[in-house]
Structure 1
Amino acid sequence: MINRKSKKYKMQKNSQVFLIILFLTTHGYSQQIKIEISNSSFSKAEVSYLEGEKTFFIDSIISKDSGKFSFQIENKHTGFYRLAFTNNLWINFIYDGEDVNLQTNAEAVLDNMKVINSQINELYYDFVRLNKAYKTKTDLLQLILTRYPKDDEYFEVTKNRVAQLQNEYRNFVENVSLQMPNSFIERYVNSSQLPIVDFTLPLEEQLTYLKTHALDKVDFNDTGLIYSDVFTNKSIEYLMYYRNPQLPKELLEKEFMVAVDTLLSKAKVNPLVYQHITDYLIDGFKKFGFDAAIDYIVKNYVIVDDLCLDEETESSIQKRIDQAKLLNVGAIVPNVILPDSNGSEIDLGNLNANKTLIVFYSSWCPHCQELLPELYKLYKKQNNLEVYAISLDEEKKAWLDFVKTHSLDWINVSDQKGWNSKAASDYYIYATPTMFLVNRDRKIVGKPLTYDELMKLL
């Protein structure tokens, strides 16, 4: 005799178990990341996610088997991630919610990279290798097309080879779009693709084309691409079109300002992308000491659009922002009372010249060593111009030796407190030399960055 009630209970119980297992397998599954780097003894690594060139730490990984790392990424956004080892070696990969399995060799990470599992990473590394090969080959072929006689048969052979490489490159980009439409990798490849140029054009025309069209394919409205290197790579790539090693720093910065205008005007379509690229440009210009370019960005973009920057970036340029906002042309500068070389206090407010040049400098600053002697020559030629020179030296001897060496018999003052000087704080000084040209009422007439700019104001 069959107990139908018991059988029904068992079926219900089995169904419940099945549903629990199904739930666990569909909702409790964590994506597995496996990365093996042979020819290495790495036992520790750090996992981070990327935003351009910035990395954000997630976790430390310990390997039981040297060079083999296995870990999980849970509840994270799609984008670029990095497994970093010692000796400045790392492996980038794209996480999109799927398993990733990569194998490579420490001696040549890119060349030996094998993607065992993950279509998105296979396409990514194919694209990276394609970019490298395409650029290497076309750079060499471009030289031939530029210099080789056009009536020679080899010129035509080279021209055809370039066309073939360009078609192969276009085909790759199109195939990625067909294989994975609207995916992260498809959007990444489309925005990252190199511009294709007609190398038979004169070099100046090629450069003009690049300045005009190099950013055409970049989707500045794609917030998700912040978690990649697209916008930073494209920014530096575009800046390079304006680089001229023969130009002095002052003129080079002006060229970069033109590039900045193009980049940031396009980036404004998306507030987060706009912030991301602005952060990157400021950080980059800081590394190379391009203060005029940074000031240009702060004045024309950060302040005008009340742009919120990365906390670290904003902190590093806060004085620039404050100076640009509070001590702009037309503002009245704070009064300064500082001792001269004899200890007598000199009150800026008591000066009666039509114009006074307030200059902050230091004896150890190379640019100051060049600029101040030139300013002194100008000072001697100008009628009714006073100079109030504030040294940020901390050693009195260094300050006075500098004054004596260059015979600077204008007003020289210092409290030997360096960057902690109240005057430096009141004027939001972040670099030397810094100049303010003021009238009799201490109202700012101009803030020249160079000798030539000062000449125009006088």
Structure 2
Amino acid sequence: MILSHHFFNGYYSKLILLLLVLQANTAYPQNFLSGEIQSCSNQFVSIYRMKGEKRYLIDSVATDENGKFRYELPSALQPGMLLLLDEKGKKLKFVYDRHDIQFSLEDMDRLQTIQFIGSDENEIWFRYLKLRDESNLKLKLLGQLLDAYPQQTAYYKRSEKEYNNLQNNYLSFIKRVNKHHGNSYVYSLIRTDFPTVVPVQRKLTDKKEFLIEHFLDSVDFTDTLLLNSDILTKKMVDFVALFQRDELTINEVQIEFNKALDQILVRAAEKESMYIFVLEFFIEGFTEMGLSTVTDYLSGLPHYKTDCLTQETMLKIEKLVEPFRNVQIGAIAPPINCNLLDGKPFSLNQVNSKSTIIVFWSVHCPFCLELLPKLKTLKLQHPEIEIVSIIVGKQRDDVEMFIKQEKLDWFHVFDGLNWKSPITDAYKVYGTPTLFLLNEKHQIIAKPMTFQELDTIIKN
């Protein structure tokens, strides 16, 4: 039998129609965020999606005279945390798991009055937050008492019993959520956020070691939906903070932080999108803190598995870390081509000295104003050293007055672009003062955190 041209046209038309129907049936249903905030009548509230600590605006919606609003959420919106922000900057976070969210609230300052209508995820989440905050406070106070009192006393035993009851109550709640909502997004958030249960009998030093060993046990680093909230980032920051001790110097603290990051990154490396997120999060954070030993470590891509990454992902990671590699110890300092404060052109290439100090400073920074006279004394003691100061600011009058008053006789680079300067960007500078020490080849040999550290390096 010979099939006609019309048969094929009709057949393909029906096939296309069937595919469209199937696609429509598999699309996610439309969901709404509806609320009543009595204290927010006749104003705009903004709705954001979360990505770690960052937030991205979805839309703004107007409330009526009763503070009511209804917003149709984008169909492509992934499960995650939603942030609601009123005109006064007050915040309210929700768990979104592709279900409608409907709530009522008296005041943004009184979140305990919130009520949900048909949003199980948020009912569970807010119950968990209440239990967590109440339990953590009591556990902290009881833990301090148990550390101070002898174990043989009756008071210790009563406190120990109450401590264990609180922890068991905590664990029972988690088990109930797991039993009834084990596959839900809210359970993933609670499991990640849930604090590590520490046995009460352990000594203080043992408790710290126990926490470090088990703090990340409940975190699933292959669950990339965790990135759509700030729960994972807070967990990671709290873990890194466990490695800080008061008696450590700033350099010793950075070495300890690297140990913490190593434990995080070896877990994150199992999922490339997770690894990129974690790497970027910590590079940005530690750069802003000025902890260059940590950013140098991260730019080395620890636990980076090239064999299981796509070419596109590899290029993305390399693009992320390349600017930091350009200013890590051992790298040739990025070029500086700009006018000096007096208007004369300047290039770092024209500096020919055994050692060069590059200092980023601002006239509005009290630490900078304390540092610069010390650099002046250092230069008098070591005339073979050249100093190049990069002035971070927009106004030159106060700068010129200070330089003239202190008689700072070295190169002063000024472009008036403040923090938008390509020089601060090239050197990944986010705070002042920031120091770089170069050798005669303009190779970065140190990034001292303090003048004392710089002075010690030069003397040795």
State the TM bucket, normalised to the shorter chain. Answer: 0.7 to 0.9
CA contact (8 A) 2:251 2:293 kept: no
Change (3 A) 1:148 1:100: same
Matches within 5 A, 1:372-383: 372-382=372-382
How big is each residue's C-alpha offset from its partner over 1:44-102, in whole Å with a ceiling of 9 and x where there is no partner? 32222222232222232233352222333242222222333222223322222333332
CA contact (8 A) 2:358 2:435 kept: yes
> Aligned partners of 2:390 and 2:376: how far apart in 1?
15
CA contact (8 A) 1:340 1:346 kept: no
Unaligned runs of 5+ in 2: 1-22, 311-315
The answer as to 2:155 corresponding to 1:147 is no
> Aligned partners of 1:400 and 1:325: how far apart in 2?
31
RMSD, aligned α-carbons = 4.1
CA contact (8 A) 1:319 1:428 kept: no
Greater Cα shift, 443-452 or 51-60: 443-452
The answer as to 2:173 corresponding to 1:161 is no
> Aligned partners of 1:425 and 1:38: how far apart in 2?
47
CA contact (8 A) 1:42 1:85 kept: no
Q: Give the aligned partner of residue 313 of structure 2.
A: none
Q: Give the aligned partner of residue 368 of structure 2.
A: 368
- Residue among 289, 296, 300 paired with 2:297: 300
The answer as to 2:326 corresponding to 1:325 is yes
> Aligned partners of 1:86 and 1:422: how far apart in 2?
33
Q: Give the aligned partner of residue 384 of structure 2.
A: 385
> Aligned partners of 1:185 and 1:110: how far apart in 2?
19
CA contact (8 A) 2:336 2:423 kept: no
> Aligned partners of 1:246 and 1:386: how far apart in 2?
33
> Aligned partners of 2:283 and 2:223: how far apart in 1?
21
Aligned residues: 420
The answer as to 2:107 corresponding to 1:106 is yes
AA in 1 matched with 2:158: V
SS at match of 1:215: coil
Change (3 A) 1:40 1:424: closer
Matches within 5 A, 1:98-137: 98-106=99-107, 109-137=110-138
SS at match of 2:150: coil
What TM-score do the two structures reach when normalised by structure 2?
0.75
Change (3 A) 1:291 1:350: closer
How big is each residue's C-alpha offset from its partner over 1:18-58, in whole Å with a ceiling of 9 and x where there is no partner? xxxxx999989633433223455354322222222322222
The structural deviation recorded for 1:218 is 0.7
The structural deviation recorded for 1:352 is 5.9
CA contact (8 A) 2:286 2:294 kept: no
Change (3 A) 1:401 1:265: farther
Q: Give the aligned partner of residue 33 of structure 1.
A: 33
The answer as to 2:238 corresponding to 1:264 is no
> Aligned partners of 1:193 and 1:269: how far apart in 2?
22
Matches within 5 A, 1:39-54: 40-41=40-41, 43-54=43-54
AA in 2 matched with 1:275: I
> Aligned partners of 2:197 and 2:380: how far apart in 1?
56
AA in 2 matched with 1:123: I
Once the two structures are aligned, what percentage of the paired residues are identical?
25
CA contact (8 A) 1:356 1:437 kept: yes
CA contact (8 A) 1:327 1:427 kept: no
The structural deviation recorded for 1:131 is 0.9
The structural deviation recorded for 1:196 is 0.6
Q: Give the aligned partner of residue 291 of structure 1.
A: 290
AA in 1 matched with 2:223: D
> Aligned partners of 2:443 and 2:241: how far apart in 1?
39
Q: Give the aligned partner of residue 412 of structure 2.
A: 414
Change (3 A) 1:222 1:416: closer
Change (3 A) 1:127 1:332: closer
Change (3 A) 1:436 1:73: closer
Q: Give the aligned partner of residue 73 of structure 2.
A: 73
CA contact (8 A) 2:47 2:59 kept: yes
SS at match of 2:141: helix
What TM-score do the two structures reach when normalised by structure 1?
0.76
How big is each residue's C-alpha offset from its partner over 1:150-178, in whole Å with a ceiling of 9 and x where there is no partner? 22211101101111111111111111111
Q: Give the aligned partner of residue 226 of structure 1.
A: 227
AA in 2 matched with 1:388: I
> Aligned partners of 2:88 and 2:166: how far apart in 1?
36
Q: Give the aligned partner of residue 64 of structure 2.
A: 64
Change (3 A) 1:329 1:111: same
SS at match of 1:48: strand
The structural deviation recorded for 1:456 is 3.1
> Aligned partners of 1:67 and 1:27: how far apart in 2?
32
How big is each residue's C-alpha offset from its partner over 1:367-404, in whole Å with a ceiling of 9 and x where there is no partner? 3333333344444444x732233352766664555455
Greater Cα shift, 346-355 or 91-100: 346-355
> Aligned partners of 2:81 and 2:221: how far apart in 1?
18
The structural deviation recorded for 1:234 is 0.4
CA contact (8 A) 1:38 1:106 kept: yes
Change (3 A) 1:87 1:429: closer
> Aligned partners of 1:335 and 1:59: how far apart in 2?
42
How big is each residue's C-alpha offset from its partner over 1:240-290, in whole Å with a ceiling of 9 and x where there is no partner? 32455676766655554443333333323222223333444455456xx51
Unaligned runs of 5+ in 1: 1-22, 309-313
CA contact (8 A) 1:39 1:107 kept: yes
CA contact (8 A) 1:48 1:58 kept: yes
Change (3 A) 1:209 1:406: farther
Change (3 A) 1:374 1:264: farther
Q: Give the aligned partner of residue 96 of structure 1.
A: 97
Q: Give the aligned partner of residue 3 of structure 1.
A: none
Change (3 A) 1:189 1:402: same
> Aligned partners of 1:192 and 1:173: how far apart in 2?
11
